[in-house]
Amino acid sequence: MDIVFRGGAMEVGRSCIEVRSDNSNILLDCGVKLSENNPEYPILNKIYPDAVFISHAHLDHTGSLPILSHLHLHCPIYSTSMTRALTKELLKDSLKIGMEEHRELPFNKGDINRILHHHKNVEYGKTYFMRDFEYTFFDAGHIPGSASIYLNYANNRKVLYTGDIKLSKTRLTKGADLSFCDNDIDVLIIESTYGDKNHPDRKQLEKEFLNKVKETVERRGTAIIPAFAVDRSQEAILMLSDLNLDNPIYLDGMGIKITEIMLRQHPKYIRNHKKLKRVFLNTYTVESDERHYVMRDLKENGGVVVSTAGMLNGGPVIKYISNFWNDPKSSLIFTGYQVKNTAGRILLETGKFPIGEMVIKPKFEISFYEFSAHAGMDELRTVVKKANPENLIIQHGEEEPINTFKEWAIGEGFNTFVPKLCDKIKI
Ligand SMILES: [Zn+2]
C-alpha cells in the first residue's frame, strides 16, 4: 500500500492524501490553502481516484473538490450529510469571493454542482464496503458533521485518518468518538495543529470572554465579536445567552445561513440542538438593508454583535469596525486563531487596521480569546497512545508543533513519519 501526501504535509491547508492499494485508489480530503496572495491547491497530477472521503466541511479540506470535476475526474464523494450541506455553502461562497476579487479560479459553478451531485451519504459508526476495503466514519468532535475515517483493507492494513479532531466537548459539539482505537491500527494519520501547545481551561476562558462582553455593554459600548461562520458563530450566541442581557444580541453575516443549515440537518450532529434552536430564535439576525438601524441602536444603547469574517478578511464585521473604531467604550473581542498575514493578526500585532485606502489605529479595546476546535498537545498524545499504531504519520501542522509532536512520539517508541509535500510512504 502507498500513501501519497498531495497537500497538508508540513503545513495547515490543502489537506489531500491518496491511499493506493492494488485494487483501489482513494483520496482523503481535497482542500485549498488560503493565504494572503494566491490560493494554493494540492498536487493533483497523475491521479485517478475511485472515491473521495471528506472528513469535514472546512475549505482547507474541501476547497479543491471542484478542481477534480474540472479535470474530469468524476467519482463519488463520501461524507456525512452535515458535511455536504456545509460544504455546499462554503464552496459557493468561495466562488463568489473569488469572482468579486477577479481571481482566476481553476473551477466554475458547474464544477461545484457536479461535486455536490456525486455526494454519497455516510452515517457515523456504520461500516460500509467498497472494492478491497471497508470504511467507517467516527465523530471527530471538531465541527458538526466532522469525521475521523477508518479504512480496513482485508484485516491486513488498517488505516485511521483523524481529520481535524477535538476530544473535549464544546457548547456545540460532543467531542470525538475514539472507539476506532479498539481496532489494531496499522497506520494512524494524525493532525498536529496544536502539537506543541495545550489549551487554557475552556470554562475559565468562557467566563473571561463573557465578562469582557458584559463590561463593554455596561459602559454602553458595542462588543464586536468576529466569528467564523461555521462553529464559532453558533458557539458565540450559545455562550452569550448565559448573560441574559437586556440589549439584543445581533448576528450578522454568513453565520446566519450556516446556523439555519445546522438546525435543519439531523439533530444528532449538534450537542444541544434544542438549545441552539431556542437561542437562535432569540438572536436578532441582521439583513444587509437593516444594518443601518442596527448601527444606530448600538450607537445609542450599546450592545453585542457577532459577525463574520472571523479573521477580519472581509464580511460585515468590517462595517462594524468602521463605525465603532473611534469609540473607546466599545471593544473588539476575537474568538479564534488568527492566521499569519490576515487583517486580524496584523491588528492584534500592530494595533493598526486598513480600511479602504486608510490605515486606522482603533480606539476601542481589543482582546483575544482562543476558543480552539482542535485537540491540544496532551489530547493528541492521548489519541496516539490509545490507538497504539504500528506506524504514526504526523501531518496538518506547522513545523514547530510537528517537531515537538514527532520528538515525543519517537521517544515513546512509535515508528513515526513526517511526510513532506508529494512524499510517498510504503506500508
Ligand atoms: Zn477544520
What is the rounded CA–CA span in Å between residue 221 and residue 215?
9
Structural domain boundaries in the chain: 2-197+373-426, 202-368
Is residue 340's pLDDT more than 80? no
Q: What is the whole-number distance in angstroms between the Cα of residue 58 and the centre of ligand 1?
A: 5
Report the SS3 class of residue 322: helix
165 CA → ligand 1 middle, Å: 8
Closest CA to 254 of 81, 94, 77, 414: 94
Q: Kindly indicate the confidence band of residue 342, based on its pLDDT and cuts at 50, 70 and 90.
A: confident
pTM of structure: 0.94
Pick from 67-81, 238-252, 346-360: least confident? 346-360
Spacing, Cα 108 to ligand 1 middle (Å): 23
Which pLDDT tens digit goes with each residue over 230-271?
999 999 999 999 999 999 999 999 999 999 999 998 899 999
CA 307 to chain CA mean position, Å? 16
Identify the band that residue 177 occupies on the pLDDT scale cut at 50, 70 and 90.
very high
User: How close is the Cα of 146 to the center of ligand 1, in Å?
Assistant: 8
Does residue 179 sit in helix, strand or coil?
A: helix
* Distance from Cα 359 to the centre of ligand 1, integer Å: 31
Given this model, what pLDDT does residue 36 score?
64
DSSP type of residue 277: H
The alpha carbon of 193 and the centre of ligand 1 are apart by a number of angstroms equal to 10
Half-sphere exposure of 13 (CA within 13 A, CB side): 13
- CATH topology for the 2-197+373-426 domain: Metallo-beta-lactamase; Chain A (3.60.15)
The rounded distance, in Å, linking the Cα atoms of 228 and 37 is: 20
Distance in angstroms (rounded) separating the CA atoms of residues 246 and 219: 14
**What mean pLDDT is predicted for residues 61-84?**
97
Average pLDDT over residues 32-54: 90
Instruction: Report the separation in Å between the CA atom of 416 and the middle of ligand 1, taken as the mean of its atom positions.
Output: 23
Distance 12 CA to ligand 1 centre (A): 10
pLDDT given at position 109: 96
Cα-Cα-Cα-Cα dihedral sign, residues 411, 187, 115, 263: negative
CATH topology of domain 202-368: Rossmann fold (3.40.50)
196-227: pLDDT as tens digits: 999 999 999 999 999 999 999 999 999 999 99
Residue 387, sorted as left (phi over 0), alpha (psi -120 to 50) or beta, turns out to be: alpha
- Higher pLDDT: 356 or 139? It is 139
- Which grid cell sits at 209? 470572554
CA of 338 to the centre of ligand 1 (A): 14
The three cell numbers locating residue 414: 512509535
pLDDT at residue 264 in the model: 94
Up-side HSE of residue 60: CA atoms within 13 Å toward CB? Answer: 17
CA of residue 94 to ligand 1 center, whole Å? 16
Q: Is the pLDDT of residue 341 over 90?
A: no
- Write down the pLDDT at residue 333: 98
The closest alpha carbon to 189, from 228, 219, 210, 158, belongs to 158
Contacts of 199 (CB under 8 A, 6+ apart): 205, 370, 372, 376
Give the confidence band of 297 by pLDDT, cuts at 50, 70, 90. very high
Q: Quick one: cell of 395?
A: 501531518
pLDDT tens by residue, 309-333:
999 988 999 999 999 999 999 999 9
Q: Looking at the predicted structure, is the pLDDT value of residue 393 above 80?
A: yes
> Residue 310: what are its φ and ψ, rounded to 5°?
-60, -25
